[in-house]
Structure 1
Amino acid sequence: MSIDIDPLSEAAGLTVTDHIENTQFEVYTDRSVEPVASPEDAHYFPVDASVTVETGSIEIPRVAVVETRSGDGTLLTRGDSYAMPAGAYHVGIDPAPTKLYLSFEAPFSVSTTERTTRIDLDVAAEVTLGFRSLHQVPAGTIETPTDPESLMDAVSLLGSALQTTSPERSFPTLRGHPPLIEPGDEFRVPDRVEPLDSGVRIVVPPEYRSLYPVVSLAYYFAADVVPGDAPRIEGDGWMHSLEPDFERRTAEVLRQAFHFDCLARTEGFYPVDLHERETTDLDLDWGRLYDLPLAERLGEYLDVPFERVEPELPQWTLTTDVRPDPDNVEMLPFVAGELSIVRSPETVTPATAGEADGLGFFRGPGAGAATLGPDEFVRGAAGSELTRGAAGSEPTRGIGTEPTRGADASSERGAVPTDADFIRPEPVDTVEHAWVGAGVPLDANKATLDAYHRRLEAGAVEQSRISVLVVCNDEQMREEGEVADLYGLRDMVQFDIEVRHDLTREEMRETLESDVDFLHYIGHVDDRGMQCTDEYLDLTAADLDVGVSAFLLNACQSYQQGEALVHRGSRGGIVTLSDVANSPATQLGRIVARLMNSGFNLRTALHVAKRELITGHQYIVVGDGGTTICQSRSGAAVVVNINGEETPWNLSIEVYPNGPYGSGSLTTPNTGSDSSNYYVPGDVDLSNISDQQLGKFLNLEVLPVFTTSGLSWSDEFE
């Protein structure tokens, strides 16, 4: 079973542990309870585990919305403060780290505080609690020859994972993970992978560069992908061209159709007050559109010029560049499942040493490092006393007399292996950027297939606590070692946090093999490996089974070693492409620690860090950039921007998809000034917020907050 339900030992209630998503949360009751297993069909919606307890109340440490349905599933009401008379009810509480449903027969009331949501029954009764993991796995694996026309047949089956073709498939829990694809001599489809007849066709030339960019469309529209000359989307009686500028227009179709589905679904099972629906200036009959078949509805969506709707659209989250190579076909289901905008560049721009970008990606002999101040030093100084900064800058003094993030290697040891192909992908308009294919991308997540497979294999774990290990292998860098104090500042998640110093090679090997959720490494790395007290541990050569799930290697030139960690067992991590100066490296380490503790994934955490530190561009994510170590209290990842310096306050809140709270999730800002729902991803603008409202909002959870002075944190405001 993926979900364990146990009585709390020091309070009245239950501990719920989802071993797939690596989440844990507590449900409180008004008395001690002993859960008794109950039938899973006791609930209106499907669940993975169900228990019955006798209690007079249910409370979770999260501000949530409570949805009440009658015994036959009819939606009765939804909100955070109301009362219901006697009756038989199915109740859902959202968000929670798992889907959480209650079933009982009793009058009850719903109330919320600044930190909790509570359901009080008028009299104690039996309450059946159901939990469903938000994790989704593929129904099977399609084997296919990798020529473009055969691959089209496989891509046409990605949409078989959709649990509905209604606009509700814009909810992440109703999309399902696409079936996997792997190369084979013949085309084979598992029995559980059954095509959906949506009536949508996508016509593209039979070549990888044309097929790869439409994989997210094929999945989301459950479309048949067929060969043809002019790229287009077709339905019965309509056609929408994808020319000119093919990749741009595929991205526009995805964004526009998804946006309209989020608006139209308010006519269905979830008739919520959606901010985006209220502010749209389009004269469309959403009720009629909701009732249309998918293909007909899509045709009417695309009748609206993209230019009309573009100002209303939020910034999309992810662009993935997939090189047009048959070796990359196995990545397509993962890319589509993230609803990523996809590009397939035939050519790439090599990044060469000596480019005057000030980022110091290539710190070989004579190459530029990041521009440093007169009193700063580089952690990988190779022992020299004078190292020139970025192209055209003055020499930087003090290097070699201060601690470095690289090992004490000779000057012949450069940051970049001679056989590494560093490339500079085209810029993106999205928050996150991933790269699939050969080469080391600057400013993008180097995504790898083995890491994505581990996302699916993250099954049962023995411990229910989140384990964080901070390793500092240099006494002069122990200031950053204090990041251990920043992990575990959560009342919903239990952390085991350990700090270790000065590990030997054998101790480091044992550490990497251990079952640790997050490794924060502070020390020296070069092409000999990770420096230990006795010698180096080279992960690219060692016979090592890695148990660490995610990591930050905050050391100079750590890309190669981090990539080896992913190949040997980790899901993903943050690494450096160059020497990194000690002071900003420490700052970045502390920022990433707080963000990971707050539930951010690797890609979004680095994105936020880059807003504060230009040196953040010396870091990239390797492996699965969607990796998290815990969930945020809000579900989605949230960044607050406070505009101005005095009351009343104007806020802009950026909400990013994160883990199971993917694109299409609903969120509501708990400021007291706005009760509307917003869909994720989104930008929420709030004005005339009082000091009291701002204080209550920032007290809900630890959030990154950008002010005119830069990055701070919600728990630092009084």
Structure 2
Amino acid sequence: MSIDIDPLSEAAGLTVTDHIENTQFEVYTDRSVDPRSRPESAHYFPVDASVAVETAAIEIPRVAVVETRSGDGSLLTRGDAYSMPTATYHVGIDPAPTKLYLTFESGFSVSTTERTTRIDLDAAAEVTLGFRSLHQVPAGTITTPTDPESLMRAVSLLGSALQTTSPERSFPTLRGHPPLIEPGDEFRVPERVEPLRSGVRIVVPPTYESLYPVVSLAYYFAAEVVPGDAPRIEGDGWTYPLEPDIERRAAEALRQSFHFDCLARTEGFYPVDLHERETTALDLDWGRLYDLPLAERLGEYLAVPFDRVEPELPQWTLTTDVRPDPENVEMLPFVAGELSIVRSPETVTPAAASEGGGMGFFRGADAIAPAAGADALGPGEFVRGAAGASSEADPGAVRGAGVTGDRGAVQADTDFVRPEPVDTVEHAWVGDGVPLDANKATLDAYHRRLEAGAVEQSRISVLVVCNDEQMREEGAVADLYGLRDMVQFDIEVRHDLTRDEMREVLRSDVDFLHYVGHVDDRGMQCADDYLDLTDDDLDVGVSAFLLNACQSYRQGEALVHRGSRGGIVTLSDVANSPATQLGRIIARLMNSGFNLRTALHVAKRELITGHQYIVVGDGGTTICQSRSGSAVVINLIKSESTTWNFSANIYPNGPYGAGTLATPNLASARTNYYTPTDIEADNVPVEELTEFFSLEVLPIFVNDELDWSDSISLD
């Protein structure tokens, strides 16, 4: 079973551990309880585990919305403060680290504080609690030849994972993971993978560069993809051209239709007051649109010119460049499942050593100071190459002995590429080459997302390894992990490990490895020698990592190939002081539940040297879940002596993907939004912000400088 439910040892209630998602949370009761197994069928919505307890109260340590349905499943009400008379109820509490449902027969009341949500029954009764992991797995694997026309048949089945064709599929929990695709001599489809036949067709020329940009559309529209000369989306009686720029037009269709679905779904099972619905400038009959079949509804969506919709749209989260090669077909279900905008560049700009680029890439150690800008080397500063690098320009800038003066140069066999800029928050790259400023996504890492499986312990394990005396300052990041209530961390700091000890560390099932030290083409520096992570006999159990050392890309890539899900690495030499700053920022963000890509995005806002780092593997990897589910970044600008202008960037994160409802616990902006979103409120009083910041540790940019909600002073 993926979910364990155990009584608390030091309080009244239950500990719920989801071994797939590495999440753990507590449910409190008004008395000690002994959970008894109950059938999953006792709940209106599907669950993975179900238990019954005798209690008069259920409380969770987070602010949530409580949704109440009658015994037959009809929605009665939802909110955070109300009472209901005696009857049989199905109750859902959201957000929680798993889907959480209650079934009971009693009158009850709902109340919230600034940190908790509580349900009080009129009298003690049997309450059946159901839990469903937010983890999603594919229904099977489609085998297909990799020629474009055969591949179109496979892409046409990605939408089989949708659990509905209504606008509610804009909720991440109702989309499901697309079936996987693997190359084969014959086209074969598992029995459980069946087309939804939505009535939508996507017509594109039979080429990879035309097919790849529409895979997210094929998934979200449950569309049949067929070959044809003029690229277009079509339904019964309507056509939407994808010319002249198929990548741009496909991205527009995805963003526009998803936005409209989020607005229209308020007419269905979840009739909430949605900010985006209230502020839209479009006068559309959302109730009528909700009731239309998908193809007919989509035709009316796309009949609205994009330039009328664009001002309302949030910044999309992810763009993925998928090179138009047949060897990349296995990545398509993962890209589509993230609802990524997809580009398929036929050519790519190589990044040569002569370019420089202004960010310190491809330069020797003697060029680091001018490349680092505001984070330039100070007196006696050094870089994180191998101990012993030297610089002819400034021998004191680089410390150690035993490495040639061109240590900072890129390895001769490294092919760096410079992808075109993106308009999204995050950027991933699928294909040959090492991308500058983008996540180097790999298939093995994405498969490990699905293979996370059960773990033996419910605690989050973090290991900080510092293998250089001069970098001990960053070893203090251990104090930044585990700064969470309701999440249990095992944190260890180790210094000066030998090769054998480092091998043992890498073999362990540590959730996050934070390495501080030296890396060069010989590998990772240890107390007695170098350990080359590209060695074939190396076993890796570490889930995620930060290799905060010079030019650690190759070593980090090897960790992903040998068992890790993903990590953050460097493309060039990095000076010690800004590397220490970045390490501390990443530590706090990962501790707060951010994924690798979003964590690095935030770090880049603060440090120009953040552009010397990229993510390898699965950029959506987290080590724990944020208290609020989504990844939240706050921005403050002083307005008056006692008020601030407030905005919040809310990003999809882990199971809380695009379309998740978000409700800030802030009186000045207390309404529902869908993720991704930017929330704004002017002239927010200091007292209100102080109360809000006490709820969770969040990154806050105050006048564009990074601070944290547990240390900020607003006076």
Q: Please indicate, yes or no, whether the TM-score normalized by the shorter chain is above 0.5.
A: yes
- Answering whether residue 422 of structure 2 is matched by residue 428 of structure 1, we say yes
- Contact kept, 8 Å, 2:198 with 2:295, in 1: the verdict is yes
After superposition, the Cα gap between the structure-2 partners of 1:524 and 1:105, relative to the gap in structure 1 and judged at 3 Å, is: same
Of 377-386 and 294-303, deviating more is 377-386
Alignment of 1:520-669 (within 5 A): 520-644=514-638, 646-669=641-664
- Contact kept, 8 Å, 1:415 with 1:577, in 2: the verdict is no
Letter in 2 for 1:648: T
- Give the Cα separation in 1 of the matches to 2:569 and 2:390: 26
- Give the Cα separation in 2 of the matches to 1:652 and 1:225: 41
For the residue of structure 1 that corresponds to 2:219, the secondary structure is helix
- Give the Cα separation in 2 of the matches to 1:383 and 1:373: 17
- Give the Cα separation in 1 of the matches to 2:367 and 2:229: 47
Letter in 1 for 2:630: A
- Give the Cα separation in 2 of the matches to 1:385 and 1:53: 67
- Contact kept, 8 Å, 1:97 with 1:631, in 2: the verdict is yes
Alignment of 1:355-504 (within 5 A): 355-364=355-364, 370-371=371-372, 372-375=376-379, 376-380=381-385, 383=388, 386=391, 398-401=396-399, 408-504=402-498
Question: Deviation at 1:689?
Answer: 1.3
1:262-283 per-residue CA deviation (whole Å, 9 max, x = no partner) reads 0000000000000000000101
- Give the Cα separation in 1 of the matches to 2:106 and 2:176: 34
- Give the Cα separation in 2 of the matches to 1:144 and 1:712: 50
- Contact kept, 8 Å, 2:474 with 2:580, in 1: the verdict is yes
Alignment of 1:242-257 (within 5 A): 242-257=242-257
Task: Tell me the equivalent position of 1:81.
Answer: 81
Question: Deviation at 1:413?
Answer: 3.9
1:596-627 per-residue CA deviation (whole Å, 9 max, x = no partner) reads 00000000000000000000000000000000
Alignment of 1:120-139 (within 5 A): 120-139=120-139
1:683-709 per-residue CA deviation (whole Å, 9 max, x = no partner) reads 011122111111111111000000116
Task: Tell me the equivalent position of 2:279.
Answer: 279
- Give the Cα separation in 2 of the matches to 1:245 and 1:400: 49
- Give the Cα separation in 1 of the matches to 2:611 and 2:48: 42
Count of aligned positions = 707
- Give the Cα separation in 2 of the matches to 1:125 and 1:11: 19
Question: Deviation at 1:416?
Answer: 2.4
- Give the Cα separation in 1 of the matches to 2:126 and 2:292: 42
Question: Deviation at 1:368?
Answer: 5.9
Task: Tell me the equivalent position of 1:698.
Answer: 693
- What runs of 5+ residues in structure 2 fail to find an aligned partner? none
Task: Tell me the equivalent position of 1:392.
Answer: none
Task: Tell me the equivalent position of 1:678.
Answer: 673
For the residue of structure 2 that corresponds to 1:628, the secondary structure is coil
For the residue of structure 2 that corresponds to 1:216, the secondary structure is helix
- Answering whether residue 326 of structure 2 is matched by residue 315 of structure 1, we say no
- Give the Cα separation in 1 of the matches to 2:151 and 2:105: 52
Alignment of 1:97-108 (within 5 A): 97-108=97-108
- Answering whether residue 150 of structure 2 is matched by residue 156 of structure 1, we say no
Question: Deviation at 1:353?
Answer: 1.1
1:385-416 per-residue CA deviation (whole Å, 9 max, x = no partner) reads 545xxxxxxx5563134x7xxx8522354452
- Give the Cα separation in 2 of the matches to 1:374 and 1:38: 64
Alignment of 1:228-307 (within 5 A): 228-307=228-307
- Give the Cα separation in 1 of the matches to 2:320 and 2:538: 30
For the residue of structure 2 that corresponds to 1:27, the secondary structure is strand
Identity %: 82
- Give the Cα separation in 2 of the matches to 1:69 and 1:566: 45
Letter in 2 for 1:523: G
- Give the Cα separation in 2 of the matches to 1:496 and 1:629: 12
Task: Tell me the equivalent position of 1:715.
Answer: 710
1:449-474 per-residue CA deviation (whole Å, 9 max, x = no partner) reads 00000000001100010000000001
- Give the Cα separation in 1 of the matches to 2:558 and 2:240: 45
- Contact kept, 8 Å, 1:138 with 1:176, in 2: the verdict is yes
Question: Deviation at 1:364?
Answer: 4.5
Question: Deviation at 1:642?
Answer: 0.5
Alignment of 1:56-71 (within 5 A): 56-71=56-71
1:410-434 per-residue CA deviation (whole Å, 9 max, x = no partner) reads 2354452211100000000000000
Of 415-424 and 227-236, deviating more is 415-424
Question: Deviation at 1:673?
Answer: 2.2
- Give the Cα separation in 1 of the matches to 2:114 and 2:631: 19
- Give the Cα separation in 1 of the matches to 2:149 and 2:107: 59
For the residue of structure 2 that corresponds to 1:627, the secondary structure is coil
- Give the Cα separation in 1 of the matches to 2:367 and 2:580: 23
Task: Tell me the equivalent position of 2:210.
Answer: 210
1:18-74 per-residue CA deviation (whole Å, 9 max, x = no partner) reads 011011111111111010000101111000000000011111111111111111111
1:257-308 per-residue CA deviation (whole Å, 9 max, x = no partner) reads 0000000000000000000000001010000000000000000000100000
After superposition, the Cα gap between the structure-2 partners of 1:674 and 1:368, relative to the gap in structure 1 and judged at 3 Å, is: closer
- Give the Cα separation in 1 of the matches to 2:389 and 2:612: 21
Question: Deviation at 1:384?
Answer: 5.5
Question: Deviation at 1:114?
Answer: 1.1
- Give the Cα separation in 1 of the matches to 2:259 and 2:311: 12
Of 505-514 and 648-657, deviating more is 648-657
After superposition, the Cα gap between the structure-2 partners of 1:373 and 1:478, relative to the gap in structure 1 and judged at 3 Å, is: closer
- Give the Cα separation in 2 of the matches to 1:278 and 1:117: 27
- Give the Cα separation in 1 of the matches to 2:364 and 2:352: 11
- Contact kept, 8 Å, 1:362 with 1:368, in 2: the verdict is no
After superposition, the Cα gap between the structure-2 partners of 1:408 and 1:512, relative to the gap in structure 1 and judged at 3 Å, is: farther
Letter in 1 for 2:396: G
For the residue of structure 2 that corresponds to 1:409, the secondary structure is coil
For the residue of structure 1 that corresponds to 2:272, the secondary structure is coil
Letter in 2 for 1:181: I
Question: Deviation at 1:378?
Answer: 2.4
For the residue of structure 2 that corresponds to 1:297, the secondary structure is helix
Letter in 2 for 1:377: F
Question: Deviation at 1:544?
Answer: 1.2
Question: Deviation at 1:117?
Answer: 0.7
Letter in 1 for 2:67: E
- Contact kept, 8 Å, 2:202 with 2:225, in 1: the verdict is yes
- Give the Cα separation in 2 of the matches to 1:211 and 1:44: 39
- Contact kept, 8 Å, 2:663 with 2:670, in 1: the verdict is yes
Question: Deviation at 1:352?
Answer: 1.0
For the residue of structure 2 that corresponds to 1:716, the secondary structure is coil
- Give the Cα separation in 2 of the matches to 1:185 and 1:499: 50
Letter in 1 for 2:458: S
Letter in 1 for 2:484: R
Question: Deviation at 1:365?
Answer: 8.0
Of 71-80 and 622-631, deviating more is 71-80
- Give the Cα separation in 2 of the matches to 1:339 and 1:134: 17
- Give the Cα separation in 2 of the matches to 1:299 and 1:118: 44
| Aligned residues: CA RMSD | 1.4
- Contact kept, 8 Å, 2:389 with 2:403, in 1: the verdict is no
